[in-house]
Structure 1
Amino acid sequence: MTDTTPAAARPLAAVILAAGKGTRMKSDLHKVLHPVAGRPMLLHLIAAVGEMGAERVVVVTGAGREQVEAVVAPHGVAVAVQAEQLGTGHAVRQAEAALVGFEGDVLVLYGDVPLVTAGTMRRMVERLHAEDAPAVVVLGFRPSDPGAYGRVIADAEGRIARMVEYKDASEPERAETLCNSGLMAVRGADLFALLARVGNDNAVGEYYLPDIVMLAAADGRGSAVIETGADEVAGVNSRGELATVEAGWQARRRAEAMAAGATLLAPETVWFAHDTVLGRDVTVGQNVVFGPGVSVADGATIHAFSHLEGAEVGAGAEVGPYARLRPGAVLERKAKVGNFVEIKKARLGEGAKANHLTYLGDAEIGAGANIGAGTITCNYDGFLKYRTSIGTGAFVGSNSALVAPVTIGDGAIVGAGSIVTGDVPAYALALARARQENRAGWAAKFRDMMRARKAAKQGG
């Protein structure tokens, strides 16, 4: 009997396969934990199924399981273990215990195919509940080089006549360009019953997940394929493929940023993270890198060769060139951070400036304050971190060291070259440096003495 419940109203689960060794990566880090856009590949998928409102998520692990389990633990997903690598069908079966009692739809995804969107997943589930009620929905694609991918033989409406692995395909079947990505949508009630019937009588003796399509066909139930672009289902098995997937993701994100109203002066040189947020009329210069956790408000400018991570840039603010904003950096409206300035866990108030050669860590800088070139907050004593507070409208002269914990009051002035170890009251002048002494004629006498010494040495 066909289930007529709308797809959106049915419970959803996802099984993500992450048991492979990934030997071609030649890495001590598990393959699915290598990052794309600053986030592990596996977490891209977990985020996407989260958008879908998945009720259960099961990650199937194997080699290197400890690494994978540590990363997914905070995300509330279940873990199943594939102790032996006996094929994709066998891998999915390991999730059966974690899905006992589940009545809904199941998406089968791959941890090394990280860029499948929630929108595509939604199309798969919706097709599963179309009028013809396919037993399985397969996600297909047409790569420029079909190579050794499994082939999907289907009619114009996407009804599948046959699916076959490349190793087992005939020459006419290998001529087909529609390929199997491996991703599927199946009703939970069907998935494990079909998997229990999958055999391993094939070229490599493995239990193939796609075989469930032909098993359903033998029961008189059809399956369907929907298509997506090859870039969305690109897999990662090597460092080169990882770089290709990253490059593709970056190209799409740059296009999105410009379409949304940001100016990228040299788009191909700007690097985004998965969660970068740019406001309207933001200008981004050449060779700018956004690490995770950055938001840039309307009208701000990020000049060339700046690196931002975990930072908030306010409306109309300026960063760089050659500036570094580390986690916890906050620039309020029209604040300015100039060349070779590093900000860490510090807030610059509205209109505050640190234009050159400065380090501000664990600090609060008031509105309109001016931080001179070469100023640093000495926030670490080798054991603990301490905060510096600089008041509204304060002026800190060049080459000053502010030894935290310390407070510079509103409107105060710190003389250039000062080492400030105590609080400075509001509107006071702080001078903390040795008194200058000028000795008339000393330099000339010194040079005469040194010339004579040099001549005597050469003559000897």
Structure 2
Amino acid sequence: MSGSLSVVVLAAGMGTRMKSAHPKVLHKIAGKPMVNHVIDAADALNAEQTLVVVGPDMPALEKAVAPHPTFEQTDRLGTAHAVLAARNALEEATGDVLVLYGDSPLFTTATLERLIAARREGAHAVAVLGFTPDDPSGYGRLSTDPYTGELLAIIEDKECTEIERRIDFCNSGVMCFAAEGMVDLLDAIKNNNAKGEYYLTDAVTVARDRGRSCVAVEVAEEETLGVNSRAQLAVAEQLMQTRLREAAMSNGATLVDPSSVFLCADTKIGRDVVIEPNVVCGPDVSIGDNVTIKAFSHLEGCDIAAGADIGPYARLRPGAEIGEGARIGNFVEVKKASIENGAKVNHLSYIGDARVGAKANIGAGTITCNYDGFQKYRTDIGAGAFVGSNSALVAPVTIGDGAIVAAGSTLGGEVAVDALVLVRAEKTEKPGWAAKFREKMRALTGKA
């Protein structure tokens, strides 16, 4: 949006009901801390500055929101008091100041743009996002003029009269202020209420007492969800997953059973991708065009190029790079390895700290033995190489282009280009030994 904008994100609460040692806003929705969802929405508005209000001793939170500056609210004396923790930065602000909450991760950038536009269009002192829930109990009510639609006051639920409780237009908490005079407005708020706190919502009454107008903008209830418990965290996750799935399908992907597919906020999915049921995408997953992800696969930290085929029951761990047209089959795990174009790792294999060259074939049950308990070692398999089933590649290993490793081999070191390597114990056969063994054991045990 054009025009100067500052954003204040309130994130000082510990979230007692979460029963957690971590700051509430660091709990994740779709693989990302709630507070970062909020900051991302603010960043999309091209805010001049985003200021984050934190509580005492929250280094993990300060790290999560970096490089945005943080301001400590030492005493938790209410929302207006929290905003004023960033007083020094706000006194220099121009244009608009948007106040968001770190535990409300579902507000969209489009909704926030509507709020800012409404504040500007009427040159209002304050604009507030409101919603109409089925049950308004517990929410602050937005009292509006029935003729002009102007916002007259925000009344906290505990302060409502019986008549005011009948109002079903409720406060979401998100507010946009005219930057000029905002600090003075908040300084005028008193704490003569049931909780003895300085309510940010009282800014509306103070502004109107000074002859300035205010306005409310309605938004869908689901965007307003604030997370205060594990149960609400689960609800927010469901709502976010629905958004992500719908976006993926709108952009040209097929989700066979959308409700069973779980995505992260940063999951990238190309066109004509097919994702079968019960697929989980962790953070940092990129899926190219025309890829098929088969059922029960788990992906994280991986890059899958166009036309690849993954699963079922595949696991791609961080650092997995799957080339064009490559095949990763059932019960295959890939970690920190590149599987180049057209290569196949079809079943029951572990490939870690490795390169599998273009059009190479890895047989069933093959593993790269990449760790000795102290260090990791690399395996390099050349283009067009063929590794037979049930082979153990004890890294460091280099297998040349076109080489063949016979099934059942256990090897390290180097294999030359186009060579055959076979590492097995010599076959020993003792005719009749098994029958004699059984006869002896029956005599000893008395078993038939």
- TM > 0.5 between the two? yes
Q: Report Cα offsets for 1:341-363 as digits up to 9, x if no partner.
A: 10111111111111111111111
Counterpart code for 1:147: S
Counterpart code for 2:128: V
State the SS of the aligned residue for 1:95. helix
State the SS of the aligned residue for 1:362. strand
CA separation in 2, counterparts of 1:135 and 1:403? 70
**What is the CA-CA distance between 1:103 and the residue it aligns to?**
2.4
Q: Report Cα offsets for 1:21-40 as digits up to 9, x if no partner.
A: 21011111211000000000
CA separation in 2, counterparts of 1:232 and 1:93? 26
1:133 aligns with 2:123: yes
- The equivalent position to 2:14 in structure 1, one of 21, 25, 33, is 21
Identify the residue that residue 428 of structure 1 maps to in structure 2: 419
Q: Report Cα offsets for 1:297-324 as digits up to 9, x if no partner.
A: 1111111111001111122211111110
Identify the residue that residue 91 of structure 1 maps to in structure 2: 82
Which deviates further from its counterpart, 250-259 or 133-142?
250-259
CA separation in 2, counterparts of 1:135 and 1:179? 19
Identify the residue that residue 256 of structure 1 maps to in structure 2: 247
**What is the CA-CA distance between 1:198 and the residue it aligns to?**
0.3
CA separation in 2, counterparts of 1:101 and 1:184? 19
CA separation in 2, counterparts of 1:189 and 1:232? 28
- The equivalent position to 2:137 in structure 1, one of 121, 144, 147, is 147
Q: Report Cα offsets for 1:221-252 as digits up to 9, x if no partner.
A: 10111111111111000000000010111122
- The equivalent position to 1:230 in structure 2, one of 202, 218, 221, is 221
Identify the residue that residue 293 of structure 2 maps to in structure 1: 302
State the SS of the aligned residue for 1:231. helix
**What is the CA-CA distance between 1:452 and the residue it aligns to?**
2.1
Superposition pairs of residues 368-387 of structure 1, within 5 angstroms: 368-387=359-378
Distance 1:322 1:100, change over 3 A: same
Identify the residue that residue 169 of structure 2 maps to in structure 1: 178
**What is the CA-CA distance between 1:100 and the residue it aligns to?**
4.2
Identify the residue that residue 237 of structure 2 maps to in structure 1: 246
Superposition pairs of residues 44-193 of structure 1, within 5 angstroms: 44-62=37-55, 65-72=58-65, 75-130=66-121, 132-155=122-145, 158-193=149-184
Superposition pairs of residues 4-43 of structure 1, within 5 angstroms: 8-43=1-36
After TM superposition, the score normalised by the length of structure 1 is 0.94
CA separation in 2, counterparts of 1:248 and 1:410? 49
User: Quick check: 2:91–2:183 contact (8 Å CA) kept in 1?
Assistant: no
Identify the residue that residue 3 of structure 1 maps to in structure 2: none
Which deviates further from its counterpart, 335-344 or 91-100?
91-100
After TM superposition, the score normalised by the length of structure 2 is 0.96
**What is the CA-CA distance between 1:253 and the residue it aligns to?**
1.8
**What is the CA-CA distance between 1:155 and the residue it aligns to?**
4.1
User: Quick check: 2:8–2:52 contact (8 Å CA) kept in 1?
Assistant: yes
Counterpart code for 1:229: A
CA separation in 2, counterparts of 1:155 and 1:315? 57
Counterpart code for 2:135: D
Identify the residue that residue 352 of structure 1 maps to in structure 2: 343
**What is the CA-CA distance between 1:150 and the residue it aligns to?**
0.5
CA separation in 2, counterparts of 1:379 and 1:189? 62
**What is the CA-CA distance between 1:99 and the residue it aligns to?**
3.3
Counterpart code for 1:394: A
**What is the CA-CA distance between 1:454 and the residue it aligns to?**
2.1
Superposition pairs of residues 444-455 of structure 1, within 5 angstroms: 444-455=435-446
**What is the CA-CA distance between 1:144 and the residue it aligns to?**
2.1
Structure 1 unaligned blocks of 5 or more? 1-7
Structure 2 unaligned blocks of 5 or more? none
CA separation in 2, counterparts of 1:442 and 1:100? 93
Identify the residue that residue 5 of structure 1 maps to in structure 2: none
User: Quick check: 1:30–1:64 contact (8 Å CA) kept in 2?
Assistant: no
- The equivalent position to 1:275 in structure 2, one of 261, 266, 273, is 266
1:287 aligns with 2:274: no
Counterpart code for 1:134: H
CA separation in 2, counterparts of 1:307 and 1:268? 16
Which deviates further from its counterpart, 349-358 or 151-160?
151-160
User: Quick check: 1:363–1:389 contact (8 Å CA) kept in 2?
Assistant: yes
1:323 aligns with 2:317: no
User: Quick check: 1:340–1:356 contact (8 Å CA) kept in 2?
Assistant: yes
Identify the residue that residue 389 of structure 1 maps to in structure 2: 380
User: Quick check: 1:21–1:63 contact (8 Å CA) kept in 2?
Assistant: no
Identify the residue that residue 198 of structure 1 maps to in structure 2: 189
State the SS of the aligned residue for 2:40. helix
Which deviates further from its counterpart, 55-64 or 273-282?
55-64
CA separation in 2, counterparts of 1:311 and 1:67? 26
User: Quick check: 1:20–1:63 contact (8 Å CA) kept in 2?
Assistant: no
**What is the CA-CA distance between 1:441 and the residue it aligns to?**
2.0
* % identical equivalent positions: 53
- The equivalent position to 2:434 in structure 1, one of 440, 443, 449, is 443
CA separation in 2, counterparts of 1:219 and 1:365? 72
RMSD, matched Cα = 1.6
Counterpart code for 1:59: V
State the SS of the aligned residue for 1:148. coil
**What is the CA-CA distance between 1:432 and the residue it aligns to?**
1.6
Distance 1:316 1:155, change over 3 A: farther
**How many residue pairs get matched?**
447
User: Quick check: 1:366–1:392 contact (8 Å CA) kept in 2?
Assistant: yes
Distance 1:9 1:261, change over 3 A: closer
Q: Report Cα offsets for 1:244-277 as digits up to 9, x if no partner.
A: 0101111222222222222112111111100112
